[in-house]
Amino acid sequence: MRLFLASTLMLFLELALIRWTASNVVHLGYFSNFVLLGSFLGVGLGFLRAGRSARAPLYFPIALAVLVVGILKFPVTVDRTGSDLIFFTSELHLAGPPPWLALPLIFLGAAVVMAGPGELVGRCFTELPRLEAYRLDLLGSLLGIVLFTLVSVLRAPPVAWGVVVSCLVVSLLGTRRRALIVGVPLALVVVALAMESMSPGTTWSPYYKITTTERDTDDGRRISVKVNGVPHQAAMDAERKASGDPIYAIPYKRMARTSPGRVLVVGAGTGTDVALALSRGATSVDAVEIDPGLQKIGAERHPNRPYDDPRVRVHIDDGRAFLERTDQRFDLIVFALPDSLTLVAGASSLRLESYLFTAEALRSVREHLAPGGSFAMYNFYREDWLIDRLTGTVADAFDHQPCIDVVGTRQAVISAGLTVDDQRCADTGSRAGPAPATDDHPFVYLRSRTIPLFYLLTLLGVLLLSLFAVRLVGGPLRRMFPYGDLFLLGAAFLLLETRSITGFALLFGTTWIVNAVVFAGVLLVVLLAVETTRRWRLPPLPVLYGLLASALLLAALVPPNLLLSLPVPLRAVVAVVLAFLPVFVANLIFSTRFAETTDATAAFGANLLGAMVGGCLEYATLITGYQSLLLVAGLLYGGAVLLLRRVRVAAPV
């Protein structure tokens, strides 16, 4: 029971930290992978410490209180402006600690906090048979995912997360003798999160901390919306918005039709773009918005009440996924400022809208236009090269030059008719820019295939801090040398998991529910592998590695665009087989190898630290694309085979 509850705490706390820190540290929403890496380091350190110390890990409730209060007391705004990598928060007034100090502190804070649950789990691994302990760890982790999914469904504020964590910690560590050491910091965490949760105008969606303010202006009633502290949307009268901000009206001027007819709005948000389409005579509007919290604000408070109109159909979904599933055709498709301020959890650089701006996505847009139809996208693009890239992507997809309207120095509207005759243009000049983003390399805001210096320096710092921490907490590194193959298995498995997350995001959407299902699916497949290892005699490891190589090759040979062409039910079946078959075989290998280890905590700790290194290797996709993850994973598994042979040869000595 201790192991089960500690594993539940470990997974729930990890997800809560990733979610909460990204909501309070501006730009950390773009680097949430760093908190994930800190969590892997912390859990690994906890396992190493479990084999060296018998003291209860009373430090981590205190560390959690320091982290929570510190972030709320000293809000961080990280300035990451520059022409090679665009973030949509760089207009903010900068305050708080500098990035070179803030991110390492948050990384270390997450590691210290997560070391406590890792140590509790590691202690149980020393008292139970290897695979029985691993099995219970997986079952507890599944419950952790279920609990966090439940609070997300209920849109519960962080104080509810703090209560869940506190109850689990008290059940594991709470005694009368420890009441002050454990109870006081936990109470401080709950109080701090309660004060944040009860802030006026603050609500929580599965993606954001949303803050709304309402005031009367010369243009009428205006509801301003911030997400994660960043100005994001304004719900106000649509015609007044269009007269004051021309990018909203330009798409209707560039279409050849006199009436927009059937309209699809991707990024409908609080509803201003939907209201404008209705006021211009749309016969129907399909409003696609990924965040239910933002749509709810528009439904309840937008002055024009666009979501009450019977012509409007609301879809809480990812825009690309909606396009891939629907067989409808539209007279006008609008991408209405669909810029997210967060990443898909578990993927280092994949944003919620990344798959919306690829070459394949815009070809799908063209296929969903009715005869005479047109498409428009607009945003505050910030950089000329981004406008040029998107213009070139639209031109390639539509086989002719689109209309380009640049408003001021930051805003632009890119419009294209199904044919040249279906658009009315002021400017169709050709613009040379970076190559279009693709489904394999969907990093539209990255100018060239490179890893930005900021990422490289941060990852180098992460690795150096991790090496120092492992040596300090775990003792001599030679304790883990016999488990070098498990270290590589951990790194490779993280890449397989990332490949699964990004693959399912492309096939079924970047929504939080798809992400949660993939995480749970991975754990279920791992649990199935453990049960298979416990109950049946498996082939020798060389045979299993051969099966793994075959599964990786099969996944690499099937292109994602082939899966997108399949009906959704068949697509789901094929995607599950291709993604989870390598995961299953890889965990047959890990379970077999782990069962024969002599030091469970060092072996499992090495595997977790390998996963952290795999998280760093994931950034190589900025150069190579996501399909290459299978190749890198294959190389790591090959290295594990070589190390395993060396370990077994040396074992008799």
Write the CA distances from 469 to 103, 463, 473, integer angstroms. 16, 10, 6
Percent of the chain whose predicted confidence (pLDDT) is above 90: 55
**28 - beta bridge partners?**
none
Q: What's the one-letter identity of residue 219?
A: D
Whether the CB-CB separation of 205 and 291 falls below 8 Å is answered with yes
Q: Which residue has the tokens 């969903």?
A: 368
Distance CA 596, CA 590 (A): 10
pLDDT beneath 70, residues of the chain:
26-32, 51, 53, 75-100, 219, 346-348, 409, 427-430, 646-653
Nearest CA-CA partner of 481 in 606, 294, 352, 343 = 606
Give the DSSP H/E element, type plus range, for residue 214: strand 209-217
Radius of gyration of the chain (CA): 26
| Token reading at 649 | 């040869």
| Token reading at 121 | 């789990």
Q: What are the DSSP calls for 125-181, one per residue? A: HTTS-HHHHHHHHHHHHHHHHHHHHHHHHTT--HHHHHHHHHHHHHHHH--STTHHH
Alpha helices in 51-129 (DSSP H): 59-73, 99-125
Adjacency order of strands within the sheet including 284-289 = 312-316, 284-289, 262-266, 330-336, 369-380, 411-417, 403-407
- Which own/partner pairs from 623-626 qualify as long-range (CB within 8 Å, at least 24 positions apart)? 623/449, 623/450, 623/451, 624/441, 624/449, 625/438, 625/440, 625/441, 626/440, 626/441, 626/442, 626/498, 626/499, 626/502, 626/503
Model pTM above 0.75? yes
Q: What per-residue confidence (pLDDT) applies to 84?
A: 56
Distance CA 112, CA 107 (A): 9
Q: What per-residue confidence (pLDDT) applies to 78?
A: 44
Distance CA 42, CA 609 (A): 9
